Amino acid sequence: MTTAAGGADALTRFVVEHAAVRGAYVAIPATARAVLACHPYPPALRRILAELCAACALLASTLEFTGSLIVQLQGDGPVRLLVVECSASLGLRAMAQWDAERTQALGADATLAELAGGPRHGRLVLTLDPKGAGPIYQGIVALESGSVAGLIEHYLATSEQLASRLVLAAADHGAAGLLVQRLPGSGESDDAAWTRVAAAVAGLAPAAMLASGPATGIIAHAFPHEDVRVFKPRDVRFECSCSRERVLRALRIAGAAEVEAIIAERGDVEATCEFCSRRYTLAPEEARALFASQH
């Protein structure tokens, strides 16, 4: 049994016995804090990003994929871009581009649609990027529901044809989420179980979701009337895939003329990761050496 205490972030899958229902619970106190520490996000954006990180890990756990699951908000409102990326091994990272004044003006309780400038001004794009190991899959969600959980539920109902219930909770000390799905092939006898499970999820308090303690305890507390089988938890963590090698590759693509222009302007070459804010600095001779072997 793994506990959430001590910052051990984990995703725990479960099934409701004798009912065609599967689910997963995720708690990411340390991951959410690490993701949010990368940029000075305003409060509304902090909450939405933390919720999306929990949602992304839950979605990733329901899919068979390699590479990354990327949830991206594209809009023309106060938040122009928001990206949450979850690897197949549940490493999470995120970034956003926002207008500080306009985002602040919306207040701390702004919804994702409001941050995007309204339902007609933005869309949520879900991408499965196998990173070269196959074709890219994309799904698009209109920003019709106010909450992140509502948007993801709608996506699951339309794209996967699975009735799903999702609750998300975010606070300064972390984020958590619980997803249940009615499996295909479930019959009429499972209707009552699904109704009970869906009602239990709808009634979950954010504080109960964010409670520290073993996932098994939180799942049992959520479904007191069900016989739930809980699987071994999987680790979730903050992880950025940026590296010095990637920066060097990007500079090679930019070309010698571009790199010389940067050196002329600032004396060295510096690249900052837009996800984790890590800075990569190259001395002029190091940057020029990238092109020394090229003809």
Q: What is the closest distance, in whole angstroms, from the C-beta atom of residue 273 to Zn ion in the complex?
A: 3
Q: What is d(CA 58, CA 215) in angstroms, rounded to the nearest whole number?
A: 14
Q: Tokens at residue 43, please?
A: 């409060």
Closer to Zn ion at the Cβ: 229 or 244? 244
Q: Is 273 in the site for Zn ion (CB under 5 A)?
A: yes
Residues in binding contact with Zn ion, number by CB under 5 A: 6
Q: Which of 172, 40, 51, 34 is nearest to 97 (CA)?
A: 40
Part in contact with Zn ion (CB under 5 A); list of ranges 50-58, 124-132, 238-246, 248-256: 238-246
Part in contact with Zn ion (CB under 5 A); list of ranges 100-108, 109-117, 135-143, 268-276: 268-276
Q: What is the closest distance, in whole angstroms, from the C-beta atom of residue 274 to Zn ion in the complex?
A: 8
Helix axes 244-254, 256-266, angle to 10 degrees: 110
Part in contact with Zn ion (CB under 5 A); list of ranges 30-38, 81-89, 249-257, 275-283: 275-283
Closer to Zn ion at the Cβ: 220 or 242? 242
- Helix ranges restricted to H, the chain: 29-36, 43-62, 100-106, 112-115, 148-155, 191-202, 206-210, 215-222, 244-254, 256-266, 284-289
Q: What is the closest distance, in whole angstroms, from the C-beta atom of residue 194 to Zn ion in the complex?
A: 41
Going from the C-alpha of 55 to that of each of 100, 168, 192, 197, the distances in angstroms are: 25, 7, 26, 19
Q: What is d(CA 145, CA 143) in angstroms, rounded to the nearest whole number?
A: 6
Closer to Zn ion at the Cβ: 201 or 247? 247
Binding residue for Zn ion (CB under 5 A) from 14, 155, 238, 275?
A: 275
Closer to Zn ion at the Cβ: 98 or 238? 238
Q: Is 240 in the site for Zn ion (CB under 5 A)?
A: yes
Q: What strand order describes the sheet that includes 79-87?
A: 137-142, 122-129, 68-75, 79-87, 91-98, 237-238
Q: What is d(CA 194, CA 196) in angstroms, rounded to the nearest whole number?
A: 5
* Exposed e or buried b per residue across 39-63, where buried means at least 16 C-beta atoms within 10 angstroms of its C-beta: bebbebbbbbbbbbbbbbbbbbbbe
> 195-234 mask for Zn ion (x: CB under 5 A)?
----------------------------------------
Q: What is the closest distance, in whole angstroms, from the C-beta atom of residue 239 to Zn ion in the complex?
A: 9
Closer to Zn ion at the Cβ: 18 or 244? 244
185 φψ region: left (φ > 0), alpha (ψ -120 to 50), beta (else): left
Contact 151, 124 (CB under 8 A): yes
Part in contact with Zn ion (CB under 5 A); list of ranges 52-60, 80-88, 141-149, 242-250: 242-250
Q: Is 242 in the site for Zn ion (CB under 5 A)?
A: yes
Closer to Zn ion at the Cβ: 152 or 269? 269
- Per CB under 5 A, residues contacting Zn ion are 240, 242, 273, 275-276, 278
